[in-house]
Amino acid sequence: MDDLLDDYLKRISRVTGIDPVPHKNTINPTLPPLKKRIYDIPDIRMKALAALNLLECPRLSEVVAYRNSSLGRQMLPSQRLHYEKELLNELADCIQYLQETEPDSKILPELRRITHRKQAQLPAVRWNALFGHVELANQLTLLPESLPDTHSGQTGTVNALLYLGRYLPDQTLAAPYTKAELEQHLQQLTASHYSGQLLRSAIRLTDTLNAVAYLLETRLKQRPLCPKGRLMPAAERLQNVFRLLYASQIQAWLSRIHREGSAWRSAMKQLLQQLPPPPSEPMDDYLQQIASDQPPISIWYQLDQSVKHHTSAWQAVLGECNLMPAGRSPPSPPPR
């Protein structure tokens, strides 16, 4: 599709006799570096728990021992989230057991204190599990090329994002919210670069539509395309480009990007609703650019504006030359 967009712009440029210029307002989101996109979480080592007599709570003792092991210290962000959920569950079970059997136990206050600190950290751990993980970072990195015509990876990517949005608040650790299920959905994100290609598709469309609108508007300002209503060769060639490239092919592509972009943003918004605010301004700006549809920095808002600009330019050209399709207006934005 990138080649088709390039051809569309080149042919409009050739017919109008005007060189295209880069559109200065195009947004090009860049995923911030790791330090800017994750929370700095103080590592509460389980030394205090390890020093306690947890014979009454053997399962909690096992979870603590794992965290202090070499494997426990090397957990990936997603594994860390699953571990923290497991730890909080075991802490709650142990506290309840001791309250019923040894209400005067001296370790109860310490268990409550650690539970409170761990619960306070959990939102940041959830955030880091996603944005500190290489799978989602790779998905959200814009690629040079747009989406392929087929096998784009949309279904797997959107389903993975929806699963993650449900997994984050869950505390049961039961199916389908197990560690294995989590890793399976994260791996699904590595099966394609759908998100980055979708975002690039929206940006390429925005650039092309704005560039074409500029050429058409500039040509109309120079001199009439159809003086005194006479149909000139340049106007006929423009109509052919519009009909053969835009109306027959690009408009369908635009509709697809609108449709898939809406589904993707919906999944991303559901995911972000389960998370705390971004840890840095660059990360907040980045998410506003890719997941929001609000002005002025959203690439989706910019795409809508470019469609309106492009539509208005073609309406002016076709209207001046009496080439508008009978019974209806010339090109209109695709449905959202």
d(CA 306, CA 56): 66
Tokens of 69: 């092991």
Task: Please indicate, yes or no, whether residues 199 and 316 belong to a single structural domain of this protein.
Answer: yes
d(CA 274, CA 269): 9
What torsion, rounded to 10 degrees, do the Cα atoms 92, 98, 99, 103 define?
A: -150
> Does residue 78 or residue 262 have the better pLDDT?
262
Task: Please indicate, yes or no, whether residues 302 and 240 belong to a single structural domain of this protein.
Answer: yes
Mean pLDDT of 308-334: 74
User: Does 171 score more than 80 pLDDT?
Assistant: yes
Amino acid at 34: L
d(CA 182, CA 188): 10
- Number of domains making up the chain: 2
Q: For residue range 94-128, what is the model confidence (pLDDT) as tens digits? A: 999 989 988 888 888 888 988 999 999 999 999 99
Say if pTM beats, i.e. exceeds, 0.95.
no
Please check whether residue 174 lies inside any domain of the structure. no
- Report the mean per-residue pLDDT for the chain: 87
Task: Please indicate, yes or no, whether residues 123 and 211 belong to a single structural domain of this protein.
Answer: no
Task: Please indicate, yes or no, whether residues 18 and 93 belong to a single structural domain of this protein.
Answer: no
d(CA 145, CA 2): 7
Question: CB neighbours (10 Å) of residue 177?
Answer: 18
9: confidence class by pLDDT, cuts 50, 70, 90: very high
Task: Please indicate, yes or no, whether residues 203 and 87 belong to a single structural domain of this protein.
Answer: no
Task: Please indicate, yes or no, whether residues 199 and 93 belong to a single structural domain of this protein.
Answer: no
Please check whether residue 327 lies inside any domain of the structure. no
Task: Please indicate, yes or no, whether residues 84 and 6 belong to a single structural domain of this protein.
Answer: no
Q: For residue range 32-72, what is the model confidence (pLDDT) as tens digits? A: 999 999 999 887 655 556 656 677 888 988 888 888 787 87
d(CA 194, CA 179): 24
Give residue 161's pLDDT.
Answer: 93
User: Does 230 score more than 70 pLDDT?
Assistant: yes
CB 77 within 8 A of CB 179: no
What torsion, rounded to 10 degrees, do the Cα atoms 166, 168, 172, 176 define?
A: 50
What does the DSSP assignment read for 165-218? HHHTT--S--TTSSHHHHHHHHHHHHT--HHHHHHHHHHHHHHHHHHHHHHHHH
Give residue 78's pLDDT.
Answer: 85
d(CA 3, CA 238): 19
Task: Please indicate, yes or no, whether residues 283 and 302 belong to a single structural domain of this protein.
Answer: yes
Helix crossing, 251-272 with 154-167: angle to 10°?
Answer: 20
- Backbone φ and ψ of 69, nearest 5°: -85, 170
d(CA 128, CA 140): 15
Please check whether residue 169 lies inside any domain of the structure. no
Task: Please indicate, yes or no, whether residues 121 and 219 belong to a single structural domain of this protein.
Answer: no
Tokens of 230: 């006479």
Please check whether residue 328 lies inside any domain of the structure. no
Task: Please indicate, yes or no, whether residues 121 and 205 belong to a single structural domain of this protein.
Answer: no
Q: Which residues contact 302 (CB under 8 A, 6 or more apart)?
A: 25, 26, 27, 206
Task: Please indicate, yes or no, whether residues 88 and 18 belong to a single structural domain of this protein.
Answer: no
Task: Please indicate, yes or no, whether residues 9 and 105 belong to a single structural domain of this protein.
Answer: no
Q: Any idea what the Cα angle at residue 80 is, between residues 61 and 66, rounded to 5°?
A: 25
CB 293 within 8 A of CB 258: no
- Residue 214 belongs to domain spanning: 2-32+194-320
Q: For residue range 120-154, what is the model confidence (pLDDT) as tens digits? A: 999 999 999 889 878 788 888 888 888 888 777 89
Please check whether residue 240 lies inside any domain of the structure. yes
What's 281's DSSP letter?
A: H
